[in-house]
Amino acid sequence: MSSSLNIGIVGLGTVGLGVLKVLKENIELISRRAGKSIDVTSVSAKRKNLDRGLSLTPYLWFDNPHELIYSKNVDVVVELVGGGDGVAREICASALSIGKHVVTANKALMAEHGVELAMMAEENHVQLNYEAAVAGAIPIVKVLREGLVGNHINRVYGILNGTCNYILTQMRDSNRQFQEVLAKAQELGYAESDPTLDVAGIDAAHKLSILSSLAFGTRLSFRSVEVEGINDVEFLDIQFAKELGYGIKLLGIASLNGNKISQFVYPCLVSVNSPINHVEESFNAIVVSGSFSDELILEGKGAGAGPTASAVISDLVDIARGTKVPTFGVNVENLIGLDVDSINDRFGGYYVRFTVVDQPGVLAEITSILRDKEVSIETVVQRGRSPGETVSIVMTLHDTYEHLMRSALQDISKLKFVVEKEKVFRVEKFFG
């Protein structure tokens, strides 16, 4: 066995430079734990002469990342380019096809092409590791793929996007609206100049589909994740939720229901007493419910140079040690295909805020429609009187089916005194 593991890094952005820094500062500790030296021999990025605040002279530079892959001085290709297709996919597929291990932090790539790449890894007897693709430094891939192998997992959920959690926390604490807080998050570097992947829930959906496959042994089904972002969350709803004993969080929730799975990403109300509600700012948290492990909560930094690099190093050490684990916990041929529950079949509670003209009979008409649709009211909040003016009526509703809820709201929206589209958030009841 070679006394060293030679690494080639493609992509020298925040995470790539983070990996170089961690290896430089902790190389003696890492090598001792790995049982061999882990050496970065080669690097590749778009621009060679960019000032990165770190000397690249110790490494062999490749203008073309495909040439790096075929270098005899590279045993493991670390892909840190990002993006579900294009260069990232080509790099990983090429490396695996010639029998080289791959470590990636690319959640879009794994969510959209993970099965294809896992098959290539198996056929060529190499590892495809991706701990850094989900929740940064939180070792959730290892927990699901290795630590909980003796459990049936029936649910996994959590805060999977730090940008959204930061925005919702700031909206609550600073009494500001979404767009204002988003602009501040972009200024501080918490949000991208184009924040769509984050705030629309797509980033969380990528991660949730990976977690579903690991938890339930299913083929990845990113396209079947029902996704809603936080764009429509208003400070007024955060206020009302707090008054009712709830916080608002963007959650990814995957459940196994007999022969079906559900995969939802949406902003929802959670009890102020729930542990997940106390996860603040840019932190991530994941809760796993196992048949023997019960509820496990993992919380930590979900992004950034240090946390993500930490996860990359963990994958490299596994390869150096000779640890071999199927990409999704079982061989690809043993991944099962399950039907996916529609959001219309969801059964749970709801929060609704109606904006109506304050006039006699409004509440009676709304409640009669809900009654006819078999939707039961839990609480009602209506402050003050403003005859002839618009007011908010806020309700929380007992558990019901989504399709009944939607049918009721469609009928209520046709009432003449309803002046704006209602705000609806699901209520999730977790332990604690």
Which residue out of 100, 107, 207, 301 is catalytically annotated? 207
Nearest C-alpha neighbor of 173 from the set 302, 283, 281? 281
> What is the number of residues in the chain?
432
Q: Could you confirm whether 207 is annotated as catalytic? A: yes
What are residue 356's phi and psi, to 5 degrees? Answer: -135, 160
CA–CA distance, 151 with 378 (Å, rounded to integer): 36
Looking only at the bridges linking them, the beta strands covering 260-271 and 339-340 are parallel
DSSP notation for 388-412: TSEEEEEEEEEEEEHHHHHHHHHHH
Q: How is the chain split among helix, strand and coil, in percent rounded to 5?
A: 40, 25, 35
DSSP E strands, 222-362: 226-227, 246-257, 260-271, 283-290, 294-301, 339-340, 347-357
Report the DSSP pairing between strands 377-381 and 153-159. Answer: unpaired
User: Catalytic residue positions?
Assistant: 207
